[in-house]
Amino acid sequence: MFKRPPFSAGFRIGYVGGGQLAAMSALQAFRFGMDVAVYAASADEPLCRMTPHATIGRMDDEAALAAFFRTCDVVTLENEFLDADLLLRARNAAGTPLFPTPETFARIADKIVEKRTFAAAGIPVAPWAEIAGPADLDAFGAAHGWPYVLKSAKGGYDGYGNATVTDAGAAREAWRRLGGADGRPVLAEAFVPFSLELAVMVARNLHGTAVYPCVQSIQAGHICKEILAPAPVPPALRRQAQELAVAAMEAVDATGIFGFEFFLTTDGRILLNESAPRPHNSGHYTMEACMASQFENHVRAVCQLPLGDPSMRRPAAAMINLLGTDNRPTRFEHTAETLDTSDAHLHLYGKTGSRIGRKMGHLTLLGEDPAETLALARQLTDPIRT
């Protein structure tokens, strides 16, 4: 499958996108003796600091992408906002394996295609509809009630490209703002009352599937702020989320590592909310909390190596994102207590500048009791400024 086997001299893994996800994955590639290359939009991206093999280019430059592919033994992607057809052509031109495959990407090409794929596989999702015009906005409200959520089908993340709308007027305004009036695909999703949000990482390749624990994702302003592992719900519900995540992997015939976010509704159902075909913020806790991290299994999965054990090594883990508290050149302050705490693990992403709310790093704390571990992790991170 590969020009040379993964554990041989010169084997090079290429990352399209050089943010913190690619950078943390690359550390595991280095650990396996691999070379790392990156195709990034800007030389400021974290992974560009970590390799002599950085190409700066546009994400729609097919020739440049194909040339990058040619220098690599395998290529993987840091985000899902690339054109699947373009990737397919670049891959085929270069003859370099790309995982996840463009075929998989095509099944989750945008949020509408993704909903259809998962619904066809019998995976429960919130009621939703494609919105072709203002009449659809009214009809959706009539059928599923207000408020509901409008989403841009392409390119949304961390709450960007989402709007919760409370009535027909607000719906029209949000739909126009999301580009619906200009032909950009928009979907509506019923607002499902949920008690909490869950997440599951899954790695999959020719050797099998590795399913990580079901965790609680604690959001603030549509951004994942905290992860608590395992999720504080009955084991049967955690198992159900894991099973749905595996079914979703199979539905897209995934090779790589994927993150799945779920709603646990107030009436006890688990609905798939979003998928991410890459390492995911909800899996950062695995770096220390699991026998093999999401990043290690990302590398293993895309290199078609046997997958590592995803089970936790202590009963509890809490991960807290360090979001920018100031707009300034990067500088972390008040980290001493964290550094002094046993089994607290600080990760800083090497971004050159901080902006309020930007993901600048994270802390993972392991412990014996989930609630206590989360409380201590909050206490450690509260004073940190960046």
Please give the residue ranges that form the binding site for a second copy (CB under 8 A).
5, 7-10, 23, 27, 30-36, 46, 48-52, 54, 291, 300, 305-309, 311, 313-314, 329-333, 335-336, 339-340, 342-343, 346-353, 361
Is 202 exposed, middle or buried, given 0-12, 13-18 or 19+ CB atoms closer than 10 A?
buried
| 181: helix, strand or coil | helix
CB of 13 to a second copy, least distance (A): 12
CB of 33 to a second copy, least distance (A): 3
CB of 149 to a second copy, least distance (A): 35
CB of 328 to a second copy, least distance (A): 9
* d(C-alpha 258, C-alpha 288), whole Å: 18
If the CB atoms of residues 200 and 344 are measured against a second copy, the closer one turns out to be 344
State CA 305 to chain mean position distance: 22
If the CB atoms of residues 87 and 302 are measured against a second copy, the closer one turns out to be 302
* d(C-alpha 203, C-alpha 6), whole Å: 18
If the CB atoms of residues 276 and 365 are measured against a second copy, the closer one turns out to be 365
CB of 265 to a second copy, least distance (A): 34
CB of 92 to a second copy, least distance (A): 28
If the CB atoms of residues 47 and 215 are measured against a second copy, the closer one turns out to be 47
Question: Residue 166 is which amino acid?
Answer: T
If the CB atoms of residues 251 and 316 are measured against a second copy, the closer one turns out to be 316
Question: Residue 268 is which amino acid?
Answer: G
Cα-Cα-Cα-Cα dihedral sign, residues 299, 300, 301, 305: positive
Is residue 23 a contact partner of residue 298, using CB atoms and an 8 Å limit? Answer: no
If the CB atoms of residues 252 and 307 are measured against a second copy, the closer one turns out to be 307
CB of 381 to a second copy, least distance (A): 14
If the CB atoms of residues 234 and 306 are measured against a second copy, the closer one turns out to be 306
Buried b (16+ CB within 10 A) or exposed e, 230-264: bbebeeebbebbbebbbbbbebbebbbbbbbbbbb
Is residue 146 a contact partner of residue 166, using CB atoms and an 8 Å limit? Answer: yes
Q: Is 276 left (phi over 0), alpha (psi -120 to 50) or beta?
A: beta
Residue 119's nearest CA partner among 13, 244, 2 is 244
If the CB atoms of residues 238 and 362 are measured against a second copy, the closer one turns out to be 362
Distance spanning both ends of the chain, measured CA to CA:
44
CB of 311 to a second copy, least distance (A): 7
